[in-house]
Amino acid sequence: MHHANHFYGHAHVMASYAGLPGAPGIWGYLQHGWNILDGFAFGTAFVDGMPKFVWSDSVRRRGWSMGLRNYSVIGAAWLYLLKVHPELATPAKDAAGTIFYPFHGWEGQHVLGDHGRIVASINEHEKGPVTVCLYWNEYENPAIRQVYARAGFRVITHGYRGLHWLGTDADFLLKQLREVRKHRRVASNRLSSAVLYGASLGLQPGVYGDPMLLENEHPSFGGQARIKRLWPEMNQPYVPLDLAREFTDTELGVEHLAGPAEIRELFRWTTLKAVS
């Protein structure tokens, strides 16, 4: 099935929740990140009749308005991860400071911008220790990594999301959960999945700084202008936590979680042998 289902170890998380080993193929398309359009990357070649598993009803409605069908709203894989790891339900005892996620590119598109300006924004708004989490392709660039390290920030990466079924770090999302639990605040220069994940756990979120540009970004998503127009309350250095929780609960699909048996049925995993 579609290789994006395995990004960030999502297929592994869902299989674990369903009581199955490994990461069996999902019959359909699984949303892998917060999305302001139809739930999937622009240009995804959908096979007619195949189901589309998305986080929220807002995504489903936008997809329907574009003529797409066969949606099932099941919530984000992040929420299922929390079910699989109840031991991480509370913050670490020594949780402190901020984890900041600079907007990142991927293999096919690079981010264009000044990381030094992001450092200046972080210094303006944050107090206490700061962890900067870079995506793997920025992390492997010493020049980018050193900009943050020279500022005195702890610099990490959660790993490689995978591409075409190769190199997927099955524990990517789990590593993210463990790191987020070490902090009291989450921030980024763009409203993103990472901000939603942190806010869903009660971290005080912030969105500020140069949003940077994505190389050859397709205009169908509307860019940062659309995001700020639709959700101005979520684009400020200190987002009120009550507003953030309401937004993240809706966008992550808290009310739409399926049970293990239902996931096995939806993904056509009913014939697979469960973990003993």
Domains of the chain: total: 2
Determine the average pLDDT of the residues in 148-164: 92
Q: Does residue 36 belong to any structural domain of this protein?
A: yes
Q: What are the tens digits of pLDDT across the range 83-116?
A: 999 999 999 999 999 999 998 765 655 677 899 9
CB 6 within 8 A of CB 255: no
> Can you give the pLDDT at residue 43?
82
Residue 273 pLDDT level (bands cut at 50, 70, 90): confident
Q: Supply the pLDDT for residue 168.
A: 87
| pLDDT of 173 strictly over 60 | yes
Tell me what pLDDT residue 106 has: 58
Residues 120 and 19 in one domain: no
The C-alpha angle with vertex 200 and arms to 163 and 59, in degrees rounded to 5, equals 60
Which ranges of the chain does DSSP label H, i.e. alpha helix?
10-17, 57-65, 77-84, 115-125, 136-139, 142-150, 172-180, 193-200, 223-230, 241-252, 260-266
pLDDT digits (tens, 9 = 90+) for 46-76: 999 999 999 999 999 999 999 999 999 999 9
- Structural domain contains residue 236: yes
- Same-domain check for residues 123 and 219: yes
In which domain, by residue range, is 178 found? 91-251
Same domain, 170 and 185: yes
pLDDT tens digits for 222-240?
677 889 999 999 999 999 9
| 149 and 18 share one domain | no
Asked if residue 159 is part of any domain, the answer here is: yes
**Is there a single domain that holds both residue 142 and residue 226?**
yes
Please indicate, yes or no, whether residues 31 and 56 belong to a single structural domain of this protein. Answer: yes
> Would you say residue 23 lies in a domain?
yes
pLDDT in tens, 19-36: 999 999 999 999 999 999
274 within domain boundaries: no
Q: Are residues 119 and 185 in the same domain?
A: yes
pLDDT of residue 42: 80
Assess whether 76 and 146 both reside in one domain: no
205 plus 144 within the same structural domain = yes
Q: Is 275 a member of any domain? A: no
What global pTM score does this model have? Answer: 0.94
Residues 202 and 184 in one domain: yes
107, 232: one domain? yes
Asked, for residue 197, whether it belongs to a domain, the answer is yes
CATH number at residue 196: 3.40.50
pLDDT value for 97: 98
pLDDT score of 216 more than 60:
no
Q: Are residues 116 and 68 in the same domain?
A: no
Q: What percent of the chain has pLDDT over 70?
A: 93
In a domain, 210, yes or no: yes
Fill in the DSSP letter of residue 259: P
